[in-house]
Amino acid sequence: MRYVSTRGSAPGLGFADTVLAGLATDGGLYVPASWPSLPGSLPASYADLAAAVFAPFVDGEIDPATMQRLCGEAYSTFRHPDVVPLVELEPGHHLMELFHGPTLAFKDVALQLLGRLFDHILAERDERITIVGATSGDTGGAAIDGVLGCDRVDVVILYPHGRVSDVQRRQMTTVAADNVRTVAVDGTFDDCQDLVKAMFNHVEFRTRHNLSAINSINWARVMVQVVYYVEATRRLGAVDVTVPTGNFGNVLSGWIARRMGAPIRHLVVASNDNDILTRFFESHEMITRAVVPTLSPSMDIQVSSNFERLLFEMNGRDGGLTAEQMATFRATGRLAVESDQWHEWVEPVFRAGRATDHDTLETIRRVHESTGMLLDPHTAVGVKAAREHLGDLPMVTMATAHPAKFPDAVERATGVRPALPAHLADLMDRPERTARVANDLASVEAFVEAFVAGR
Ligand SMILES: *Cc1c(COP(=O)(O)O)cnc(C)c1O
């Protein structure tokens, strides 16, 4: 299997190189040259199912027995025997709980495997990398936990000082591993992201330290998430699925599962007040606005990077055209699609919904009242949208975080403060280690330099 860039001018790569590269050199995202079909018979265990779904994408670059072992190791870190259990919320409406991994958000599903995948590929090549990433909350903890125990991967995570929740910060800063460092930057999340981009654009620095990224544009993250959509249809048959959406990574994985033959009818894209995608699916036009903070911060995004992969398909896989549209979008903040593209690609598949913070709190409160279950605010956005699209097929709403990860919103809605699971019960008492660094490229680079030199 070869991978091609959505902007058409970067060289094609094999699986392992695609995983290590993250972003293509032309600024595009890698996608497989063709979409394979699902295997005819699906293995029963989640780890075996994962290895079977990945096989055509990996295409022998990692031998199947090794892939199976890595999947087994990754999913043994989940606290539930089903890995991603289905729970019935109300008749015909199920939650797929994606939050039983170590850091309580769905990002663990991909990042627990990705760390192991990186380490395996690097051992074969006798190389090391330093992952540098910015986080607004969930990705940092999941990335750090995903590389614990990796021999060949060091990680530095930048987060905005004072702007992530206590639980989120402590999930990063209480990890006492030699290959992990966290940096509290005096600035916003956008400042952190700009610092990371600047380090990647500083080619001499990037090359000298073998910098790598594991944000959600990495193909492997999208690929790994396909499995739980297949799992949902393996258990329930044909379904509609609702996905709380920010960067369009999770829901894109659902689209890929559908494209590979999983019986998914509609994908409902659920947004909070940052509803650029919902407005797009209602109006055929994507128009950016300023980001507003909400109770579901992991969805506070205005430019959903992974949408580019769907756009590339809608453009008949024309990379030149996709590159042009992305440039126009960046310059003007507007992107429109033709009506024939709409009828072929969007209308049959996508539905959309939104929830304000008020809707989110109301949904958490009512679900608790009628079922006793506690929803996190991201999942609540999904449940609200899903209920507006219930049809004749079972609905599955992806539950993307554990309620204890966002205890303030849950308590505000229900009066109940959700408890952290046992493995994190003493999180608030563990010693923290972090560095406070100025919002300035030279200072952050000096920090990375000193860390790598000591490894
Ligand atoms: C990251 C995240 C999302 C958004 O997922 P995307 O793949 O960016 O669409 C939703 N909910 C939670 C809890 C998250 O951490």
Read off the pLDDT of residues 348-377 as tens digits, 9 standing for 90 and up: 999 999 999 999 999 999 999 999 999 999
CATH class, range 86-102+219-414: alpha beta
Determine which residue's CA is closest to atom 4 belonging to ligand 1.
246
Residues above pLDDT 70, as percent of the chain: 100
Measured distance CA(194)–CA(200) in Å, rounded: 10
Joined tokens for residue 214: 């594991």
Q: Among 225, 245, 295, 375, name the best residue to mutate to test ligand 1's pocket (greatest count of ligand atoms within 8 A of Cβ).
A: 245
Between the CA of 124 and the centroid of ligand 1 the distance, in Å, is 32
Question: Is residue 222 within 8 Å of 253, Cβ to Cβ?
Answer: yes
Residue 36 has pLDDT above 90, yes or no: yes
Read off the pLDDT of residues 379-438 as tens digits, 9 standing for 90 and up: 999 999 999 999 999 999 999 999 999 999 999 999 999 999 999 999 999 999 999 999
Q: What pLDDT does 329 receive? A: 93
Q: Is the dihedral of CA 168, 145, 244, 414 positive or negative?
A: negative
SS3 134: strand
Question: Is residue 165 within 8 Å of 142, Cβ to Cβ?
Answer: no
Catalytic residues: 107
Listed in order, strand segments (DSSP E) in 186-344 are 211-212, 239-244, 264-271, 285-287, 334-336
Determine which residue's CA is closest to atom 14 belonging to ligand 1.
298
Q: What pLDDT does 301 receive? A: 82
Joined tokens for residue 31: 């996608």
Residues above pLDDT 90, as percent of the chain: 83
The whole-number average pLDDT for the span 38-46 is 94
Q: What pLDDT does 102 receive? A: 96
Task: Find the angle CA(39)-CA(107)-CA(9) to the nearest 5 degrees.
Answer: 70
Between the CA of 155 and the centroid of ligand 1 the distance, in Å, is 21
Joined tokens for residue 191: 């400042």
Output b/e per residue, 156-180; b: 16+ Cβ within 10 A.
Answer: bbbbbbebbbebbbbbbbbbeeebb
DSSP state letters, 91-117: TTEEEEE---STTSBTHHHHHHHHHHH
Burial of 117 (0-12, 13-18, 19+ CB in 10 A): buried
Between the CA of 358 and the centroid of ligand 1 the distance, in Å, is 20
Within 6 A (CB) of ligand 1 lie 105, 107, 138, 216, 244-250, 298-299, 378, 400-401
From the alpha carbon of 379, which atom of ligand 1 is closest? 11
Domain boundaries, the chain: 86-102+219-414
Between the CA of 453 and the centroid of ligand 1 the distance, in Å, is 34
From the alpha carbon of 376, which atom of ligand 1 is closest? 13
